Amino acid sequence: MKETIEAIIRQAGEIITAAKKPAVFEKAGHANFVTQTDMDTQAYLIDNLHRAFPDAEFFAEEKENLALSDRPTFIIDPIDGTTNFMHGRNYSCIAVALAVGQEVRMAFVYQPWQREMYFAEKGKGAYCNGKPIHVSDVPLDHGVVIFGSSPYNLSLCRRSMALCVVFLEKSVDIRRLGSAELELCDVAAGRSEVYWELEIKAWDYAAGSLILTEAGGLIARADGQPLRQGEKTSVLASNPLCFEESLRLLRSVKEE
């Protein structure tokens, strides 16, 4: 099963790297776009995964979705980091999680330009191109913090920016990279210590959440409550050393 899904995702990655100036369409929300390549990649993934696993359901960014059920469901973001992709920044990924109800059982995040395939299976660890990955053991005052700016919801921007100041004062530095799934993998691989964002969608974290926890990390909503797969949410992900302090910092800047 893993090999079949991985082969389909790698092939879908070719659609993204081969794309030249795809048509861009606006979606609801501030500065929220979809390109023809997002739609072509999603169609390729769903067609081929459906052929290989005819009983599976699909929950994906560029389609209408029902609530997650107890049937095996592929949660898909065909291009996480669409804004990066539109600007030729080559830092985006395909994210595919296989979930049963609230449990993500298998996860793939693929960076097609670097050909990096992050993979995790529940209880079996996390890997990048077949090599095990682990979160770091670096504390916050020596750590790098990634934040996401929740760009499609402008009502969150002041709190996000206020939190950046708070985290910058307590860490070595902050980063904004532009793909929530890759940012979760960054923490999972020990290249950064913390990632937080005040609002992301179900397909932006489903795969990365399993990769992160299988790599030894912790993940929750920004108020400390457990994530609910299939829902829009805030998120805090970090190595275990940074988690409580990051939670306290997130709570220190109140909602407006």
Nearest distance, CB of residue 59 and ligand IPD, angstroms: 14
Nearest distance, CB of residue 195 and ligand IPD, angstroms: 10
Using the 8-state DSSP alphabet, how is residue 54 labeled? T
- CB closer to ligand IPD, 186 vs 241: 186
Nearest distance, CB of residue 116 and ligand IPD, angstroms: 16
Where along the sequence are the contacts to ligand IPD (CB under 6 A)?
61, 77, 80-82, 148-151, 178-180, 197, 200-201, 204
- CB closer to ligand IPD, 148 vs 217: 148
Q: Backbone phi, then psi, for 245, in 5-degree steps?
A: -65, -40
Nearest distance, CB of residue 130 and ligand IPD, angstroms: 25
- CB closer to ligand IPD, 186 vs 193: 186
- CB closer to ligand IPD, 40 vs 77: 77
Beta bridge partners of 74: 58, 98
Residues 6+ away with beta carbon under 8 Å from 132: 125, 126
Tokens of 34: 């979809």
- CB closer to ligand IPD, 46 vs 241: 46
DSSP string, 163-223: HHHHHHHHSSEEE--S-HHHHHHHHHTTS-SEEEEEEE-HHHHHHHHHHHHHTT-EEE-TT
3-state DSSP call for residue 25?
strand
Nearest distance, CB of residue 53 and ligand IPD, angstroms: 23
